[in-house]
Amino acid sequence: MSLDEQPDFTGNPRHLLVLQQALKEGNILIWNKFNNSNGPRFIANLKGVRLCGQNLKEVDLKRANLRNADFSNCDLRFARLDGACLEKAILNKADLSFASLKRTHLEGASITNAKFVRSNLEQAYLKDSLLAGSDLSQAILTGAVLKAENLAGTTTRGTKMPGKIKVRPHEDSPDLPPWLRAKKEEENRRSRRLVKEKMEQKEREARRLGRLGLKRTGQWKS
């Protein structure tokens, strides 16, 4: 789908035109100047915009209404998204490294396999968001609203967590400590051994009953 095709857009048409111009000319400063020239209380309305795969590096979208927006595969490095509303937005495979998302509303957003390396998500609202496969290495999450399950399957090396939240790495994760990996492997071996022993026990019991001419139900064979 091209940049001009916006079937789900319900925001401000003028705001969309300015952003489209900036992207077509490869000059994000066109948008940033427009955004800043409208004063500190300006709120861009780009609800439902589709920007899949676009280069939005260093874009200024502070406080913007980006509900239901699609930023899949976008380059959003160094973007300024502080206070923006990205409720139910799609950010799958987007690169938000070094971006600022302080107080950003990301409730119900799909953010799988994205990059947040060294990003600032301080006080961000991430309730019900999907972050599986995302890289949050050295990101700042202090004061963020989320649960440990929101971070399941993510990379959190050096990440500053909110409060006392702890994330248990997946057993295949490179972040898993050696002692815990060894423990998991031992648990798996024990589980396989128990299954094998149970199967062997059943086979021995079946052979014993067979010699006695009995079925396993305890009935005589006819």
> Mean pLDDT over residues 37-49, rounded?
95
Give yes or no for residue 177 having a pLDDT over 60: no
The backbone torsions φ and ψ at residue 115, rounded to the nearest 5 degrees and listed phi first, read: -115, 125
- CATH class label, 1-170: mainly beta
Give yes or no for residue 19 having a pLDDT over 70: yes
Give yes or no for residue 124 having a pLDDT over 60: yes
Q: Spell out the domain ranges in the chain.
A: 1-170, 177-222
Q: For residue range 187-205, what is the model confidence (pLDDT) as tens digits?
A: 888 888 888 898 899 888 8
Rounded mean pLDDT of the chain? 88
Q: What whole-number distance in Å separates Cα of residue 213 and Cα of residue 195?
A: 27
Compare 50 and 184 and report the one with higher pLDDT.
50
Tell me, what amino acid is at 24?
Answer: K
* pLDDT-derived band at 220, boundaries 50, 70, 90: very low
- Give the pLDDT confidence score for residue 149 in this predicted structure: 84
Other Cβ atoms less than 10 A from the Cβ of 176: the count is 16
SS (H, E, C) the chain: CCCCCCCCCCCCHHHHHHHHHHHHCCCCHHHHHHHHHCCCCCCCECCCCECCCCECCCCECCCCECCCCECCCCECCCCECCCCECCCCECCCCECCCCECCCCECCCCECCCCECCCCECCCCECCCCECCCCECCCCECCCCECCHHHHCCCECCCCECCCCCCCCCCCCCCCCCHHHHHHHHHHHHHHHHHHHHHHHHHHHHHHHHHHCCECCCCCECC
> Mean pLDDT over residues 42-61, rounded?
97
Give yes or no for residue 221 having a pLDDT over 50: no
Query: Is the model's pTM score more than 0.85?
Result: no
Give yes or no for residue 169 having a pLDDT over 60: no
- Give the pLDDT confidence score for residue 137 in this predicted structure: 95
* pLDDT-derived band at 179, boundaries 50, 70, 90: low
